[in-house]
Amino acid sequence: MRTRFIIRRARTNQAGLCPINCRITVKMIRANEFAVGLLVDPNKWDSKTQRLKGSSLTAMDVNRRLDIIKSELEEIYLSARARGTHLSADQIKDIYNGVSLVGCSISKLSKQFLEELILRERSTVTTNRYKRCFAYLTEYLGKDYDVSAVQKKEVSGFWVWLKSRGYHNDYCNKIVQSCIGLFRYAIREGHIDSNPFSGVSLEWKKELDITCLDPREIESIKMYDWSERLQLVADSFLFMCYTGLHIGDYRDVRQESVYEYDGHQFMKIRRVKTNVEATFPLTDYAQFLIAKYGGVDKLPHISPQKMNDYLKIIAEKVDINKNLTNKIARKTFTNMCLNDFGFSPEVVATMLGHTTTRQIRHYGAIKEKRILTEWRLVKE
């Protein structure tokens, strides 16, 4: 890169001073000149040294400022090269003048990160979660920073800001973790050398909510005389209770997922979130609901938020004193499998679509009923 300062005599003002322009050349390609905001006496300008002649305070000040400009331009060029990016003369000029950003903005980096997730065939649920986390970070920062400009002091209060909005401790941690991943990606791509979130310590509450419905509560939902709209919600919820489907998988399930094995109706789906297979037999009540609506494809589909709103009404109608949401359906299924049917954790994991049994603890736990059943077997 070559930087040269020249004066424009044709633009001499009434005081006899003319502007200094800067000319940048990279690989023999020159950018359009731009004014550096300095005016000098053309008779005192040395075009060879590109300096103002003399030792006056004015000459010293102008020459010092020209040195700073040249140094800043070289810093833009060299820092980009260190990250593996080769800037053109026009790009260097635009970055110096603030027309464009050096490196990569958070929004641009987020877009690239999400595009890579899609190429890796991550689910829409996962990519949307990351997108939401990055939106929180941008909102907190207040503007679309260049990635290299984000330092520890910019993100030090991010977790506290999230907590002040009423989010659960562990949810705040997950958001911060996603943002840590974004900056690790930036390091990998050569945009930055260090992660502004490095050194952040996250404390997890690990509070497991395995609230589920007992047989009486399930029966009360079955037997109540619902309005047409609430009946659709109740049937959707009950179908998930008897299949263990996550609402995202339930909304995506198709008739071709049903098949017969050894005289029993089974369903096999590939989970939307993890792309892991879930295989489970269809209970009598699940088959009843499929027949009621004329096939799996015709089961009522309701958005998660709408369903949760209606489930609050349903809970109130049948005196269920629990925060009834669509997530409770999956936990109810897990509880039935572990404690009523006595299935092993490995079988339950397969039916839920998990590759290990570790995740089961988030949905259910072995209770006194199962313990007592096995204890009696031992006594006998």
Nearest by Cα to 100 from 31, 42, 155: 31
Work out the average pLDDT over 169-189: 92
Q: How many Cα atoms are found within 13 Å in the side-chain-facing hemisphere of 150?
A: 34
pLDDT band at 379 (very low <50, low <70, confident <90, very high): confident
Higher pLDDT, 139 or 144: 139
Which class does domain 215-379 fall in? mainly alpha
Q: What is the pLDDT of residues 298-310, one digit of tens each?
A: 999 988 889 999 9
Higher pLDDT, 190 or 75: 75
Query: How many whole angstroms separate alpha carbon 14 and alpha carbon 27?
Result: 38
Work out the average pLDDT over 260-274: 92
pLDDT tops 70 at residue 56: yes
pLDDT tops 90 at residue 143: no
pLDDT tops 60 at residue 147: yes
Query: How many whole angstroms separate alpha carbon 176 and alpha carbon 169?
Result: 11
CB 339 within 8 A of CB 262: no
Q: What is the pLDDT of residues 31-46, one digit of tens each?
A: 999 999 999 999 999 9
Q: Which of 103-107, 163-167, 186-190 has the lowest mean pLDDT?
A: 103-107
CB 155 within 8 A of CB 199: no
pLDDT band at 328 (very low <50, low <70, confident <90, very high): very high
- Amino acid occupying residue 175: I
Q: φ, ψ for residue 326 (rounded to 5)?
A: -65, -25
- pLDDT, position 373: 83
- pLDDT, position 84: 66
- pLDDT, position 148: 80
Q: Which of 144-148, 229-233, 239-243, 259-263 has the lowest mean pLDDT?
A: 144-148
CA 117 from centroid of its chain's CA atoms: 10
Beta-carbon neighbour count of residue 165 at 10 Å?
A: 10
* 3 state SS of 105: strand
Indicate where the chain has its CATH 1.10.150 domain(s): 106-188
CB 132 within 8 A of CB 88: no
Residue spans of beta strands (DSSP E) within the chain: 2-7, 18-26, 29-30, 34-40, 45-46, 51-52, 258-261, 264-270, 277-281
Share of the chain above pLDDT 90, in %: 67
* Residue 128 DSSP symbol: H
Indicate where the chain has its CATH 1.10.443.10 domain(s): 215-379
- pLDDT, position 78: 86
Beta bridge partners of 3: 24
Query: How many whole angstroms separate alpha carbon 247 and alpha carbon 304?
Result: 7
Nearest by Cα to 292 from 370, 238, 221, 252: 238
CB 244 within 8 A of CB 337: yes
Question: How much helix, strand and coil, in percent to the nearest 5, is found in the chain?
Answer: 55, 10, 35
Share of the chain above pLDDT 70, in %: 98
- pLDDT, position 101: 57
For 33, 66, 72, 73, 81, the CA distances from 76, given in Å and listed in that order, are: 17, 16, 6, 5, 9
- pLDDT, position 102: 56
For 71, 254, 255, 300, the CA distances from 290, given in Å and listed in that order, are: 73, 11, 9, 10
> What global pTM score does this model have?
0.62
pLDDT tops 80 at residue 85: no
- pLDDT, position 103: 63
Work out the average pLDDT over 131-145: 92
- pLDDT, position 273: 83
Q: What is the pLDDT of residues 279-293, one digit of tens each?
A: 999 999 999 999 999
Query: How many whole angstroms separate alpha carbon 236 and alpha carbon 201?
Result: 41
pLDDT band at 77 (very low <50, low <70, confident <90, very high): confident
Work out the average pLDDT over 316-323: 94
* Residue 146 DSSP symbol: B
Q: What is the pLDDT of residues 202-248, one digit of tens each?
A: 888 877 788 999 999 999 999 999 999 999 999 999 999 999 999 99
Nearest by Cα to 84 from 105, 106, 112, 103: 103
CB 1 within 8 A of CB 27: no
The pLDDT mean for the chain works out to 91
Work out the average pLDDT over 180-202: 89
pLDDT tops 60 at residue 270: yes
Residues 6+ positions from 240 with CB-CB distance below 8 Å: 246, 247, 250, 326, 329, 330, 333
Q: What is the pLDDT of residues 109-134, one digit of tens each?
A: 999 999 999 998 888 888 999 999 99
Q: Which CATH number, 1.25.40, 1.10.150, 3.30.300, 1.10.3470, labels domain 106-188?
A: 1.10.150
- pLDDT, position 272: 86
